[in-house]
Amino acid sequence: MAVRQKKFPNIKQRDFADMIGITRLHLTAIEMGRRTPSMELALRWLAVLAPEAKLEMFGPLPVVQERIKALKQLQKVSPEVFKAA
């Protein structure tokens, strides 16, 4: 939550939830620790908050790298489908 508020201080929680393709209630549950995001959702969240993030520092993560690559391609091809993914 702190990272989201620091990066987007003037954006409402509902608007951020829309940016990553979930409901405000789902976002609240994740930020409060009541739910855990899927890997796909975590990667979408990362793509919004830190598009320049480098995951290489964690060593080889082929599954994560493949999913990030696929999500970036999907976002380029169809932003509507990316948001729903």
Query: Which domains are delineated in the chain?
Result: 2-84 (1.10.260)
What average pLDDT does the structure give for the chain?
78
Q: What is the pTM of this model?
A: 0.59
How confident is the model over 31-63, as pLDDT tens digits?
Answer: 999 999 988 888 888 878 887 666 555 555 566
- Work out the burial of residue 27: count CB atoms within 10 Å of its CB; fewer than 13 is exposed, 13-18 middle, 19 or more buried: buried
The two tokens of residue 71 are 């999500």
